[in-house]
Amino acid sequence: MGATSPLSIVARSALRLRDAGPATVSDLSRSLEVSRTSVENAVAVLSDSGLLVDAPAQVGGGAGRPARRYSFHAAAGVVVGVDIGVASVRVVVADLAGVVIAQRTFPGVAEQPDGPAKLAAVIDDVRRTLARLSLPRTGLRAIGVSLPGIVDDDGRVTTSVVIPEWSGIDIGSQLRQAFGCPVAVDNGVRLAAVAEHHLGVAQLVDDVIYLSVGNRIAMGLILGGRPRRGIHNAAGDIGRLAFRGLNTETGQISWRTAPTAAEVFALARSGEQAAREELDGFIDELAHGIATLIMTVDPAMVVIGGGLSAAHEQLLDPLRAALPGHLGLPFQVPVAEARLGAEAAAHGAVVHAFQRHPGDIYGIEDMPAPPITPLPHDAAAGDDPEEKQ
């Protein structure tokens, strides 16, 4: 991986205003350590592109008119993240500073009869979400999409066990035609890993294994601070291979003592011996698979997400206890519970769109993605009663 090129003065000026608040030209010149003329030129470019607005002047003790202050115009546009699943479709809308301003959850695509109907439902979900916002004509700058399956770099679904009707379909192109903006598509577990690295429990940790443990087991890798896709875009599709006892075709977890994982965990908590033994065996197999991955990647952290992470310490404590016996190493790798839960992939899709399309979003090709600020949990929790039944 080559060295990162230094940011342009335009990008540095926009970044300072976006992430640190209003400033004058003199403020920018001092903080960026560049000439006033260079900053003035950058401010002119940013103003012409609609990314700056005037901020209230600061009243000081000196004589004369206060210096003109500029603010980053976060409301000039939005970036959308969509997490497509069979059980739910989640739509997150962030302004240009990365602050989430809307979030809605819709029924999943499983109830739709075929591939085109599934795609039409997702498009309708995004449109319903955007319809409630007062956006300028060019307000929608980019869309990031998370979906279950192997996705190539252009947004075509190579294969999907979960939504097989979309295998071979260029979902990115379909959504670009529907919304007239750039679209970035990637695997959902990989984007959940991106979210946990960018705004979740794995911030500042550049080598991370993110493991989604739910109906299936799947992995997302962050290596050197970047998501690892692999030459065939299949990095992380290891559930049915690295973890013994799963369905060899789908990677599905099956349970003997109860129909669902939640029921097995509940029975184990109540002291039911068969459920406790099944759960102990599952956790030991999980630890064995994680140990294999740790020895392959040597990460700084393992993050456990997915539906079973909701079991919290009933899963994590015995998993942490079992892992050293499988590793046999003189060091420990921290195992952390994912912070973003079911919202991770949708927020990761927002990050992915910012990272893939900065030129379309900001008009600045080297503009870094912003920090993402989720909605408060109580504001994001409820579904809309008017949603399609």
Provide the 3-class DSSP secondary structure of residue 298.
Answer: coil
| pLDDT category of residue 241 using cuts at 50, 70 and 90 | confident
Q: How high is the pLDDT of residue 4?
A: 56
Nearest to 373 by CA among 340, 342, 335: 340
| pLDDT category of residue 239 using cuts at 50, 70 and 90 | low
Q: For residues 167 and 147, what is the distance between their CA atoms, to the nearest angstrom?
A: 11
Q: How high is the pLDDT of residue 386?
A: 43
| pLDDT category of residue 243 using cuts at 50, 70 and 90 | confident
Please, what is the average pLDDT of the chain? 90
Q: Are 291 and 326 in contact (CB under 8 A)?
A: yes
Q: How high is the pLDDT of residue 61?
A: 54
**Does pLDDT of 367 surpass 80?**
yes
As a whole number, mean pLDDT of residues 314-335 equals 92
**pTM to 2 decimal places:** 0.91
**Does pLDDT of 334 surpass 70?**
yes
Q: How high is the pLDDT of residue 135?
A: 79
| pLDDT category of residue 236 using cuts at 50, 70 and 90 | confident
Distances (CA, A) of 220 to 113, 135, 140, 196, 231: 30, 34, 28, 10, 15
Q: Are 28 and 14 in contact (CB under 8 A)?
A: no
Q: How high is the pLDDT of residue 63?
A: 58
Q: How high is the pLDDT of residue 379?
A: 63
Q: Are 199 and 190 in contact (CB under 8 A)?
A: no
**Does pLDDT of 191 surpass 90?**
yes
Q: How high is the pLDDT of residue 385?
A: 38
The amino acid sitting at 317 is D
Which of 47-56, 80-89, 330-339 has maximum average pLDDT? 80-89
Q: How high is the pLDDT of residue 118?
A: 97
Nearest to 360 by CA among 112, 49, 116, 101: 49
Distances (CA, A) of 186 to 2, 9, 376: 23, 31, 26
As a whole number, mean pLDDT of residues 232-244 equals 77
Provide the 3-class DSSP secondary structure of residue 271.
Answer: coil
